[in-house]
Amino acid sequence: MKNSSYSSILKSSIQNLRFLTSTTTPKPQYIITPLHESHIQAAVICSKIHGLQIRVRSGGHDYEGLSYTSDTPFVIIDMFNLRQVSIDVKDETGWVQGGATVGEVYYHIAEKSSMLGFPAGICPTMGVGGHFSGGGIGSLMRKYGISADNIEDAYLIDVNGTLLNRESMGKDLFWAIRGGGGASFGVIFSWKIKLVHVPSTVTIFTVSKTLEQGATDVLSNWQLVADKLDPRLFIRAVIQVQTVDGTTANNKTIQVLFQSLFLGTNSELLPLMKMSFPQLGVVAKDCTETSWIKSAMYLNNFPVDSPTTALLNRSLQSKNFFKGKSDFVRKPIKDFQLEKIWKLLLQEDQTPVLIWEPLGGRMSEISESATPFPHRFGNLYNIQYYMWWQEEGLSAAVKHVGSVQRFYKYMRPYVSSSPRGAYVNYKDLDLGQNEGLSTSYSKARVWGEMYFKNNFARLAMVKGKVDPGNFFSNKQSIPPLLV
Ligand SMILES: Cc1cc2nc3c(=O)[nH]c(=O)nc-3n(C[C@H](O)[C@H](O)[C@H](O)COP(=O)(O)OP(=O)(O)OC[C@H]3O[C@@H](n4cnc5c(N)ncnc54)[C@H](O)[C@@H]3O)c2cc1C
């Protein structure tokens, strides 16, 4: 704690202010900032000898702060210096170190080729160490699947401090680290990614509909088509409460933003929209042709003329207090049910933003057990409930977290069940809380099967083989199942 950079490094990538400002948030004994894989190997071995827990942090975006907090004495391995990205255009692959951000990956691909891309999430400051480990959903998933589906190899430092690659770690561990969530199996030093083809011109649009402009009807139709559209077309719906323009704050409505990326030109997109989703009424003036890299920036709300180098800025994301939750939807929610949901949102003082992202396309073709991410065929879209606030203090936190918890409870009849699905990258420590937060297998099954369905048992068996003593553990890590 004596090094003058301790505090600034600790705070540097914490995204969720819930864990930045609280004086009760536990602090690490040491922060290790490796420059070489041997530094990680040494950190693992020393931590074991000294009985310290390890927290690995790449981009610091964990929803529950699990990459930099622990209830027992711990050290942080912060990967931010290990962020080299090397792209091989001829081979259409890349090697990406664990501490690189998604924005850095996108930037370095685009620097080499305007015809290659990589399927990952929308926020550029996420670290690939955590993001790819948990799946990685984003605007290319309908065409190419998630990040984890496009990983060809990896280097991982295991519980013994040994550096393993795909061949030496074996089939089961290589399967587990591609979607089983970060932190359970070892430290990802680097990933080998398979790049995907993108056209030199793509088309983007955002169309807004309020209730007064027929949002319910358009969203109803979106639910019927979004997962069945041409896989080059990704249209997500961002639903939020808005004050009606020019009126008082009490006069509220629901606004749905339909944000889209199409891997093709405007002249291909417009007939497609007219044929498959005419209710949205997209016309030429709504659409902009651009490059894939600029589309990635657009979807993350970068100002229009931002240079692509802005993707290299690891701290550009504004920071809030937040709590997230997730669901998967298998049957369209009916109009009258949507109206009940709007009513509930409009009567609350604080409400989450709902982000509905379409699945289908390639996502439905990959089997549920190909990677630990199981939410494939039969799922129409996923929902993220993102509750954010800016007031400091416990009472604001209790109020906002309570509100999203109530809303999540209310949504139960409309979403997947037995088990209700959840996405591990939108980590949620509420899941299975009735069973007590425990990493014992039988208790962990509650949240484990929500995130991974039947893949949870296989993940626990892999864990049992590679880390039977449960050294890499946190409040929601995979427990070892010893068979
Ligand atoms: C603003 C915001 C936007 C987001 N948008 C999306 C999105 O579009 N799509 C999507 O799929 N997700 C999205 N997420 C969720 C994101 O994918 C997860 O939070 C992800 O785990 C972040 O990875 P990280 O490395 O930044 O986080 P960290 O907090 O560093 O790590 C997350 C977890 O992974 C572990 N971990 C980190 N690095 C390593 C490593 N090198 N080896 C082993 N374990 C490691 C950590 O210990 C922790 O358990 C978003 C999150 C935020 C905050």
Q: CATH number of the domain that 61 lies in?
A: 3.30.43.10
Amino acid at 379: N
Lowest mean pLDDT across 22-36, 168-182, 347-361: 22-36
Atom of ligand 1 nearest to the CA of 146: 11
Nearest residue by C-alpha to atom 23 in ligand 1: 130
CATH number for position 236: 3.40.462.20
Burial code (b: 16+ CB inside 10 Å, e: under 16) for 325-346 equals: bbbbbeebbeeeebeebbeebe
- More confident: 25 or 293: 293
Which pLDDT value is given to residue 228?
Answer: 98
Question: Rounded to the nearest whole angstrom, what is the distance from the C-alpha of residue 427 to the centroid of ligand 1?
Answer: 9
Q: Is the pLDDT of residue 1 over 60?
A: no
Largest CA distance in the chain: 65
Could you tell me if residue 97 is inside a domain? no
Could you tell me if residue 142 is inside a domain? no
How confident is residue 432, by pLDDT bands cut at 50, 70 and 90? confident
Q: Is the pLDDT of residue 244 over 90?
A: no
Atom of ligand 1 nearest to the CA of 56: 47
Q: Is the pLDDT of residue 243 over 70?
A: yes
Nearest residue by C-alpha to atom 21 in ligand 1: 130
Q: Is the pLDDT of residue 316 over 80?
A: no
Burial of residue 278 (number of CB atoms within 10 Å: 0-12, 13-18, 19+): exposed
Tell me if the bond preceding 119 is cis, omega within 30° of 0.
no
Nearest residue by C-alpha to atom 38 in ligand 1: 129
pLDDT digits (tens, 9 = 90+) for 157-196: 999 999 999 999 999 999 999 999 999 999 999 999 999 9
Tell me if residue 161 falls in helix, strand or coil.
coil
Nearest residue by C-alpha to atom 1 in ligand 1: 123
Q: Which residue range(s) make up the domain with 363? A: 202-290+320-414
Q: Quick one: the chain helix, strand, coil %, rounded to 5?
A: 35, 20, 45
Please provide the DSSP assignment of 83-117 as one string. --EEEETTTTEEEEETT-BHHHHHHHHHHH-SSEE
Mark whether 400 and 260 lie in a shared domain: yes
Could you tell me if residue 212 is inside a domain? yes
Nearest residue by C-alpha to atom 31 in ligand 1: 130
Q: Which residues line ligand 1 (CB under 6 A)?
A: 15, 55-63, 66-67, 79, 98, 121-123, 126-127, 129-131, 133-138, 182-183, 187-188, 317, 425
Q: Do residues 427 and 448 make contact, with C-beta atoms less than 8 angstroms apart?
A: no
Which pLDDT value is given to residue 237?
Answer: 98
Number of domains in the chain: 2
How confident is residue 248, by pLDDT bands cut at 50, 70 and 90? low
Which pLDDT value is given to residue 466?
Answer: 98
Best residue for ligand 1 mutational test, from 425, 429, 439 (most atoms within 8 Å of Cβ): 425
Burial code (b: 16+ CB inside 10 Å, e: under 16) for 234-246 equals: bbbbbbbbeeeee
What is the percent of the chain where pLDDT is above 70?
A: 97
Nearest residue by C-alpha to atom 28 in ligand 1: 60
Question: Rounded to the nearest whole angstrom, what is the distance from the C-alpha of residue 65 to the centroid of ligand 1?
Answer: 10
Average pLDDT value for residue range 257-286: 98
How confident is residue 24, by pLDDT bands cut at 50, 70 and 90? confident
Question: Rounded to the nearest whole angstrom, what is the distance from the C-alpha of residue 99 to the centroid of ligand 1?
Answer: 11
Question: Rounded to the nearest whole angstrom, what is the distance from the C-alpha of residue 482 to the centroid of ligand 1?
Answer: 28
Could you tell me if residue 428 is inside a domain? no
Atom of ligand 1 nearest to the CA of 177: 43
> Among 398, 414, 430, which residue terminates a domain?
414
Nearest residue by C-alpha to atom 3 in ligand 1: 123
Question: Rounded to the nearest whole angstrom, what is the distance from the C-alpha of residue 45 to the centroid of ligand 1?
Answer: 25
Q: Is the pLDDT of residue 438 over 80?
A: no
Closest CA to 304 of 318, 288, 319, 320: 288
Which pLDDT value is given to residue 318?
Answer: 76
Which pLDDT value is given to residue 480?
Answer: 97
> Among 14, 45, 78, which residue terminates a domain?
78
Q: Is the pLDDT of residue 317 over 70?
A: no
How confident is residue 62, by pLDDT bands cut at 50, 70 and 90? very high
Question: What phi and psi values does residue 451 have, to the nearest 5 degrees?
Answer: -75, -40
Average pLDDT value for residue range 296-301: 95
Could you tell me if residue 402 is inside a domain? yes
Q: Do residues 189 and 157 make contact, with C-beta atoms less than 8 angstroms apart?
A: yes
Could you tell me if residue 473 is inside a domain? no
Atom of ligand 1 nearest to the CA of 135: 11
Q: How far apart are CA 385 and CA 341, in angstroms?
A: 13
The whole-chain average pLDDT of the chain stands at: 95
The CA–CA distances, whole Å, from 273 to 10, 62, 204 equal 47, 36, 13
Q: Which residue has the tokens 């709007």?
A: 342
Could you tell me if residue 41 is inside a domain? yes
pLDDT digits (tens, 9 = 90+) for 355-404: 999 999 999 999 999 999 999 999 999 999 999 999 999 999 999 999 99
Amino acid at 155: Y
> Among 20, 50, 78, which residue terminates a domain?
78
Token pair belonging to 309: 């180098």
End-to-end CA distance of the chain: 42
Q: How far apart are CA 279 and CA 258, in angstroms?
A: 12
Q: How far apart are CA 97 and CA 129, in angstroms?
A: 8
Average pLDDT value for residue range 288-306: 94
Question: Rounded to the nearest whole angstrom, what is the distance from the C-alpha of residue 477 to the centroid of ligand 1?
Answer: 14
Tell me if residue 332 falls in helix, strand or coil.
coil
Could you tell me if residue 92 is inside a domain? no
Which pLDDT value is given to residue 83?
Answer: 97
Count of CB atoms situated within 10 Å of the CB of 41: 19
